[in-house]
């Protein structure tokens, strides 16, 4: 995880934590690069590796764009609304756009099939062909998530109002914020929600660790977007940090793609956690919050 960076790795675990404001240009550039490379005359082992990397690049764009498509779908429905706020006009202009989203999902299904073929070819080069490799396990999970997404799209064609509920690629609402890893150490950023009994439960968590040159130094300008689905704009939320070291949080906002509620601290940086010791080997308690930031929205 750390070699890729947890922010890039999380797509292997969840598809509903990528509904943010991050631009897709860099991901589209990666996709273009590997697609072009896959057409070159490469040795068979390298060709399989490039083909699988091409699938991963395609997935990076597809999943992020799917979440943004839901937000756009909600705006389309809102523009066709004839009643009170929160009561979408059924259908409206949503059907053509949903059909387009279905076509995009069908195209990605073909990319997934090609990715599986590449993963199998890579595995058979040096492993037991009767066993299944970890890349195929990732693809199995992707296949299930894609099936859930396509099933949701079919339901939404009949009932466009489902767009306002949680989907396989985003929540009814999405918490979005920036994590500034200005002093790389061993931090873990956590989003928690308080229930009616006052108990905080974890919604999502992510380590900041990245084994890259620009993060392997005492000070860094690394920023990563963090998003997590939320069921209601009235949810009581907080951001916490655990482990060793500090991070800063900024630009916290809650959105459903149509309406955006900004946190009181937006866009100022809020530092959380304790400074990492300059010597020794600390033993982190991953259940303990070393700093918290309650979220209040305007």
- State the pLDDT at residue 81: 52
Q: What is the CA radius of gyration of the chain?
A: 21
- State the pLDDT at residue 2: 62
- State the pLDDT at residue 85: 47
- State the pLDDT at residue 26: 96
Q: Report whether 178 contacts 225 (CB < 8 A).
A: yes
DSSP letters spanning the chain: -TTT-HHHHGGGT-STT--SS--SHHHHHHHHHHHHHHTS---HHHHHHHHHHHHHHHHHHHHHHHHHHHHHHHHHHHHT--SSTT-PPSSTTHHHHHHHHHHHHHHHHHHHHHHHHHHHHHHHHHS-TTS--HHHHHHHHHHHHHHHHHHHHHHHHH-GGGGGS-BTTB-SEEEEEEEEESS-SEEEEEEEEE-TTS-EEEEEEEE----SGGGSSS---EEEEEEEEES-TT-EEEEEEEEEEEEEEEEEEEE-SS-EEEBTTTTS-EEEEEPPPSSS-----TTS-SEEEE--B-
Q: Could you tell me which residues come within 8 angstroms of residue 183 by beta carbon, excluding any fewer than 6 positions away?
A: 218, 219, 220, 245, 246, 275, 276
- State the pLDDT at residue 88: 45
Q: pTM for this one?
A: 0.92
Instruction: Give the whole-angstrom CA distance, residue 211 versus residue 115.
Output: 26
- State the pLDDT at residue 90: 45
Which residue ranges make up each domain of the chain? 20-164, 173-294
- State the pLDDT at residue 28: 98
Q: Which of 115, 106, 116, 107 is nearest to 150 (CA)?
A: 106
**pLDDT band at residue 281 using 50, 70 and 90 as cut-offs:** confident
- State the pLDDT at residue 92: 56
pLDDT tens digits along 129-156: 889 999 999 999 999 999 999 999 999 9
pLDDT tens digits along 166-208: 999 999 999 999 999 999 999 999 999 999 999 999 999 999 9
pLDDT tens digits along 8-49: 999 999 999 999 999 999 999 999 999 999 999 999 999 999
Average pLDDT score, the chain: 93
């Amino acid at each position: 995880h750390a070699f890729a960076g947890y922010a890039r790795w999380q797509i292997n675990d969840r598809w509903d934590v990528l509904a943010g404001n991050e631009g897709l240009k860099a991901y589209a550039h990666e996709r273009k690069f590997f697609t072009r490379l896959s057409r070159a005359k490469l040795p068979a082992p390298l060709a399989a590796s490039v083909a699988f990397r091409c699938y991963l690049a395609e997935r990076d764009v597809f999943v992020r764009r799917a979440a943004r498509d839901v937000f756009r779908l909600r705006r389309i429905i809102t523009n066709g609304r004839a009643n009170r706020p929160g009561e979408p006009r059924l259908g409206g202009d949503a059907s053509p756009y949903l059909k387009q989203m279905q076509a995009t999902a069908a195209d990605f299904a073909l990319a997934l099939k090609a990715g599986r073929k590449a993963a199998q070819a890579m595995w058979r080069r040096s492993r037991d062909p009767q066993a299944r490799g970890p890349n195929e396990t990732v693809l199995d999970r992707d296949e299930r998530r894609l099936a859930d997404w396509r099933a949701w799209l079919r339901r939404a064609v009949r009932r466009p109002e489902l767009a306002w509920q949680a989907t396989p690629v985003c929540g009814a609402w999405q918490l979005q914020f920036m994590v500034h890893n200005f002093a790389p150490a061993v931090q873990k950023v956590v989003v928690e929600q308080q229930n009616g009994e006052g108990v905080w439960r974890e919604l999502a968590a992510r380590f900041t660790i990245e084994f890259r040159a620009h993060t392997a130094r005492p000070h860094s300008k690394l920023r990563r977007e963090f998003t997590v689905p939320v069921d209601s704009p009235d949810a009581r939320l907080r951001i916490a940090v655990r482990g060793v070291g500090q991070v800063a949080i900024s630009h916290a906002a809650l959105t459903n793609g149509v309406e955006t509620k900004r946190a009181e601290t937006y866009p100022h940086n809020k530092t959380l956690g304790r400074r990492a010791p300059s010597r020794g080997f600390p033993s982190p308690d991953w259940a303990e919050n070393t700093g918290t930031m309650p979220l209040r929205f305007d």
